[in-house]
Amino acid sequence: MSAGIESRSAVAQAPPTSGGPVDAALLEDLAAANRILATEGVLDAYGHVSMRHPCNPNRDLLSRSLAPILVTANDIVEYDLDSTLVDPKGRLSVQERFIQGEIFKARPDVNAVIHSHSPAVVPFSRPFRT
């Protein structure tokens, strides 16, 4: 192993910085969107809604790992577009968070993403294999 590779792997990456404060009403709306879509059957226990950070297009907001019917504004966390949690505070991340990050990264015109497991589509999906 070369010295350059060793030194790069030994350096810890700094956590991403926040995109700034978000209006409490927007966080409430995002939480409500999760609950409403779950109530209406659009989201199952593993679906979620995310939005681009209103002050920094390189950040997005998504609930911590929690069923959408239970999401409150306090459950909303911030990610960078590589799906790295800005301030974990011991909260678990949604495994599918990378979907949002990649969409927000590829499509600067997109400001919200809904990840759902539609009963009409799931039978045609391929099972995950390890």
- The angle formed by the CA atoms of residues 42, 43 and 49, to the nearest 5 degrees, is 110
Burial of 100 (0-12, 13-18, 19+ CB in 10 A): buried
The DSSP string of 76-119 is EEEEETT--BS--TTPPPPTTHHHHHHHHHH-TT--EEEE---T
Active-site annotation holder among 28, 78, 96, 102: 96
Could you give the CA distance from residue 25 to residue 33 in angstroms, rounded to a whole number? 12
| 78 annotated active-site | no
| Active-site amino acid positions | 96
